[in-house]
Homo-oligomer: A and B are copies of this chain.
Amino acid sequence: MIGSLLNEKKADIDKELANLLADNGSELYKSMNYSLLAGGKRLRPALFLMLLEIFGLEARSYMKVACAIECIHTYSLIHDDLPAMDNDDYRRGKLTNHKIFGPGMATMAGDGLLTYAFELISNQENISPDTRCYLISILAKAAGPDGMVGGQALDIISEGHSSSLPELRKMDSLKTGCLICAPIDMAALIAKCDEEMQKSLHEFAVHLGLLFQITDDLLDVHGSLKEMGKLPGQDEKSLKSTYVTILGEGKAQELANAENRRAKAAISKLGSSFERLNDLADYVLARAN
């Protein structure tokens, strides 16, 4: 059920993304489109669209904002994979951007997608200018130095020595969590939902983000290139601390179970229309099993 709903959203988003950057024949556009159209779960924009629908809004009116969220996620993957960063060869089942276009062009492709994301939102005339500014602010804060980029920077610093559980949690909440919270906060803003509901949804997103990262670490141990789209065993190879290396597999799985429960508890009072978010939390948990 949730699986088919996510697939439906993914299809909508993929279609919109395919028409986003009309190929102008340049190497830069090829490079941006290569990564943007390489597939991927589209979890972040799907979350945004799903929540809009729960609020009774027409999700298709906000596709450009959904694409902006995915542009930022894709840019972060391109830069994260660079030789100067994680130096990864595979992503979304294909060679990484810099493996095809070189690290200079890959850096520019990331910069281009990041910049374009804000242009996209700034021009959305069916959204009031006031709301557009808030959306840009939420997304920039989540993606910027006090959010995702801040988490990536902690990741660079942690390289080569082991992290404690609180250090790992802080890094992941910035690096992964912020860009899972942002789509939910953005949808709540558009729907003008009250502060209490907004807080509950944000708390759900925080736990979902952690759950997502823990299951990512578990998959890195057992997954395959085909399942994950990237090579498994990279965390061990790069001596990175993960929930699995710090806690062991058993306890990491227990923590995943706990985060799944906490996510669902956060929205337990919001009523039956939010049930598909419970399904989503179960779906993310299941991918680790």
| Residue positions of A touching B, CB distance < 8 A | 21, 26-29, 31-32, 79, 82-85, 98, 102-108, 110-116, 118-119, 122-123, 128-130, 132-134, 136-137, 140-141, 143-145, 149-150, 152-154, 156-157
- What would 13 more interface pairs be, CB under 8 Å, given A28-B153, A83-B84? A27-B156, A82-B104, A82-B107, A84-B103, A108-B149, A108-B152, A108-B156, A111-B152, A113-B145, A118-B136, A129-B130, A129-B132, A132-B133
Whether B115 contacts A143 by the Cβ 8 Å rule is yes
Whether B144 contacts A112 by the Cβ 8 Å rule is yes
| Given contact pairs A123-B137, A136-B118, A136-B122, A85 touches B112 in the complex (Cβ within 8 A) | no
For chain A, what secondary structure do more than half of its interface residues adopt (helix, strand, loop), or is it mixed?
helix
Whether A140 contacts B119 by the Cβ 8 Å rule is yes
Whether B156 contacts A104 by the Cβ 8 Å rule is yes
Closest to A98 in B: B84
For the complex, give the distance between the alpha carbons of A38 and B277 in Å: 48
Closest to A108 in B: B153
Ordered by A's residue number, 7 sampled pairs between the chains whose C-beta atoms are within 8 Å are A82-B104, A104-B156, A114-B114, A119-B144, A122-B133, A129-B133, A132-B133
Whether A145 contacts B29 by the Cβ 8 Å rule is yes
| Residue from B27, B103, B136 within 8 A of A153 (CB atoms) | B27
Interfacial chain B residues near A105, Cβ < 8 Å: 153, 156
Whether A79 contacts B111 by the Cβ 8 Å rule is yes
For the complex, give the distance between the alpha carbons of A202 and B103 in Å: 34
